Amino acid sequence: MGNPNAPIVMEVFSDYMCPQCRNFYMNSLVYMIQDYVSAGKVYLVHRDFPLPIAQHKYNWDAARWGTAAARIGKFEEVDRALYDNEPAWEADGDIQKVVAAVLTPAEMKRVQKQVAPCLTQTPANLRPPAPAGQSCSLDAFINQDMALGKAVPVQATPTYVITSKGNRLPAGSGFVSWPIMKQFIDSLLSQ
């Protein structure tokens, strides 16, 4: 999200079903997107890191919807919708409904086409029909993010890695409130 040439690059490794990731997104990252990403000061990179936790039943499917949306240039909208509505789709597994609410029917068709062969956890009655003979290509992107995360190494989500003017800083993890994070970003920008 934002300008790839921004002085600060922030990569956030997260799991759509992790409560701290949702909290971090809704109470910090939203403000960062609004004030710093839009202004070209920060380039925000979402990295999927679905955790192998039994309760996180739909985390891979959510990551697939997000990745498919990114491939048609609609990541920001879908990312926000996934976090905003997480309690709803966590309860019934209906991620499709949440995504459809923020895309046009044509965009939704393109996303569904990519996602349909991949869905494993979504209840069968809520899955879009998979086009015949098409295999899941989205998992390669998610696995790529996970490999990057393991190299950090990501031990918990959310984990953020900040690169300022080409210098990669040590990774941090857990929720950080927006005023404290803003203070750090302002400090980096003033260097």
Partner 1 sequence: MLVGRIALAVIFLAAAYAKLKPQTGMPWSVASVKTSLAMFAMQVDSYRMLSVSGVRWVSHLLPPFELFLGLWLLSGIALPFSSLVTTLLIGGFFSVMVRTYALGLEVSCGCFGPGEQLGAKTLIRDGSLLALSLAVTIGAFLIQRSRDRAEISVGAPASQRAD
Q: Which residues bind partner 1 (CB under 8 A)?
A: 20, 155-157, 164-177, 179-181, 183-184, 187-188, 190-191
- DSSP assignment letter at 4: T
Question: Which of 71/182 has CB closer to partner 1?
Answer: 182
Question: Which of 133/179 has CB closer to partner 1?
Answer: 179
Q: Phi and psi (nearest 5°) for 13?
A: -90, 120
Please check whether residue 39 is in contact with residue 2, taking contact to mean a CB–CB distance below 8 angstroms: no
- Give the integer Cα–Cα distance in Å for 120 and 154: 25
Q: How far is the CB of 39 from partner 1 (least distance, A)?
A: 19
Question: Which of 3/20 has CB closer to partner 1?
Answer: 20
Question: Which of 69/188 has CB closer to partner 1?
Answer: 188
- Give the integer Cα–Cα distance in Å for 75 and 40: 17
Q: How far is the CB of 159 from partner 1 (least distance, A)?
A: 9
Q: At what angle do helices 105-115 and 59-71 cross, to 10 degrees?
A: 130
Q: How far is the CB of 190 from partner 1 (least distance, A)?
A: 6
